[in-house]
Structure 1
Amino acid sequence: MMRELFVHDRSVMTPQKSIFQRPVWVTVFALTAAIAWGWAYPLIKLGFGEFGITPDMTGSKMLFAGIRFCISGLIILSIAGVTKREFKVRERSDWWYILLFCMLNTTLHYAFFYFGLSHSEGSRAAILNSLSVFSVVIFACLFFKSDRMTANKVIGCVIGFAGIVSLNLGGADSGRFSLLGDGMIILNALCGASASLLIRGLGKRVDVFVGTGYSLAIGGTLLVLPGIFLGGEFPMVTATGCLYLVLLIAISTMGFTLYNKLFTCNPVGKVAIYNSLIPVVGAVTSCLCLDEQFQIKYVIAGALAATGIYIINRSK
């Protein structure tokens, strides 16, 4: 009887987990964000076409990206204001950390992404971007004591990188490495992985919801200004193009809000694993929406990437 009472009392005193820490909801939220981000690949290229933005129009690409993220950030900050979130940053010096996060998470991250995507097939870029998943695993082991390098992680990363390398094998054109295409996507992936490690620190300096809004609004502005300076413009504006832009804004608003919150409540690797779905969705939707030729190497690369991620995250 006393044992039953003890067990009952202990269960009552156990703090209830946040919805963002419950396994089922972590899966639901992370999958929702990953699937939405996968659709960004074809939507960006379709948006460029509707606005008349060609691969050589650097300023216009920065302007397009900046408007997307700036509006997304302002929406998040508006919601934060309505829900009476705390906007105050803990210390003045913390603004330098927030600015660094803005640069990595938004400005540099998406400058590289938009440049690379305009010089590469959406399906190829989507799978190549899976490099960020393995980069997060490696970086987490280097900077977080709670994440230790294991044999599973080494094997998983090797297999995953093999999938990325397989993209550059095959035909003379489709297999050729491009600095403006593949190179920019790789830099984008590394910026995204680095930003993922900073999210937990961001949550210690400001409300993570507000911090996400700051990141997108400030980072977007830092894309708009040089875009205008470089002569960025939209040669034509169509209703369909505006629809694509609205969808991209919605993807950013939902995706970053969910992921940043999940990263502050769970181990980095546990959440990052779901990014492996982004290349799959991106490759398939790009082939469907952009009439890109589907290649068997995409299946091989996707299978190797998924296998590597499974090995890294499987239980002992």
Structure 2
Amino acid sequence: MKKYLLSTPFLAILACLLWATPFAAIKIGLKYTTPLNFAGIRFFISGLLILPFIPEFRTKLQSLSSKSWKLIVQVALLQTTFLYGLFYTGINYLPGALGAMLIGAQPLFAAVLAHLMMKNDKMTLSKISSILLGMLGVCIISLGRADFVLTTTIPLGVGILVLNNIVGSMGNVIVARDTRDIPPRILASFSMILGGFMLILISVPMEHPKWELHPSEYYYALGWLAIVSSMAITIWFGLLGREGVKVSNLNTWKFIIPIFGACISWLILPNENPDLISILGMTVIAFSLLMLNYFNKKKTKI
């Protein structure tokens, strides 16, 4: 049982489940503050929450070289500051359905960049087929929503979210390829502290946030988001650093985020109910993941 709980598929699914929960909390937080400011505070607190859970903290911190610190700053910029800055900016220019489809395409970008930047993570026909099938499932779920309306800002929003996918994929490759000597909790903690702090600084001239006390629901939402981020990102960085784990395969698990998100909405929101299109999209995604894992196991046996 312990072996299963520590397995890559289980931990990847757990991280994706955590990432699927924040949508309602984000909506609550954005009622009271600006997007970049809220994201910055969220990730700054997330990084701080990890610090008490780092064993032998001082020893590990002192052992970090200047090269390691440069990598931490690089990951902070790519995986927190730029990634979420672009995400929150781009999503404002697009209908929700189109935004969801573009974010759902992230595993494809990860596979392409891993193919270009890593020697041991090349694209294969079976891998690309699985990823494209998963993207089809995301598109089916997204198109089932009723907010797909054409606007003049769509090209700008598409460009920003495509750049967001490239930045996020590059961050994943760098974590997997270059940071194996950095403990995952140290990497996750300080990259979020630094990245979150930079988002807060950027938000001041760009958004002019109001620094005031908010209702209790804001702090509940912020607390939940901080906990989710600290757990999910620590798990994900740990998986990226595992021997034999490929960036392209791991990112394919992100296709289940919209499945979890839809199921959570059906359980929590009174006006959300299961529909045929969403279930069809989920079935396609499930089949794509089963297909990818089948090919991976078959390749391992060979």
Normalising by structure 1, report the TM-score: 0.76
- 1: CA distance between counterparts of 2:41 and 2:166? 23
SS of structure 1 residue aligned to 2:66: coil
Query: Which string of whole-angstrom CA distances, capped at 9 and with x for unpartnered residues, describes residues 8-63 of structure 1?
Result: xxxxxxxxxxx7xx5542233222221111011222112212x2x4xxxxxx2111
- 1: CA distance between counterparts of 2:222 and 2:108? 30
- 2: CA distance between counterparts of 1:298 and 1:128? 17
**Aligned with residue 277 of structure 1, among 256, 260, 263:** 256
Whichever residue aligns with residue 280 of structure 1, its letter is: I
**Aligned with residue 241 of structure 1, among 218, 230, 233:** 218
Contact in 2 for aligned 1:63/1:224 (Cα 8 Å): yes
Contact in 1 for aligned 2:104/2:135 (Cα 8 Å): no
Unaligned runs of 5+ residues in structure 2 are none
Query: Which string of whole-angstrom CA distances, capped at 9 and with x for unpartnered residues, describes residues 220-243 of structure 1?
Result: 011000112231226761101110
Q: Which residue of 2 aligns with 1:25?
A: 6
- Could you tell me how far 1:180 is from its partner in structure 2? 6.2
Q: Which residue of 2 aligns with 1:8?
A: none
Q: Which residue of 1 aligns with 2:238?
A: 261
Unaligned runs of 5+ residues in structure 1 are 1-18, 54-59
Q: Which residue of 2 aligns with 1:10?
A: none
In the alignment, is residue 218 of structure 1 matched against residue 200 of structure 2? no
Whichever residue aligns with residue 291 of structure 2, its letter is: I
Whichever residue aligns with residue 165 of structure 2, its letter is: A
Q: Single out whichever of 202-211 and 172-181 deviates more from structure 2.
A: 172-181
Query: Which string of whole-angstrom CA distances, capped at 9 and with x for unpartnered residues, describes residues 164-205 of structure 1?
Result: 555776899516473565554444333222211111245335
Contact in 2 for aligned 1:66/1:223 (Cα 8 Å): yes
Alignment CA distance shift 1:71-1:182 (3 Å): same
Normalising by structure 2, report the TM-score: 0.79
**Aligned with residue 307 of structure 1, among 265, 274, 287:** 287
- Could you tell me how far 1:289 is from its partner in structure 2? 3.7
Query: Which string of whole-angstrom CA distances, capped at 9 and with x for unpartnered residues, describes residues 45-96 of structure 1?
Result: 12212x2x4xxxxxx2111100000111122234327655501465424433
Bigger-Rg structure (1/2): 1
- 2: CA distance between counterparts of 1:71 and 1:206? 21
Q: Which residue of 2 aligns with 1:6?
A: none
Counting aligned pairs with the same residue, the percent is: 24
- 1: CA distance between counterparts of 2:144 and 2:97? 16
Query: Which string of whole-angstrom CA distances, capped at 9 and with x for unpartnered residues, describes residues 110-143 of structure 1?
Result: 1122234455676764554221223223322332
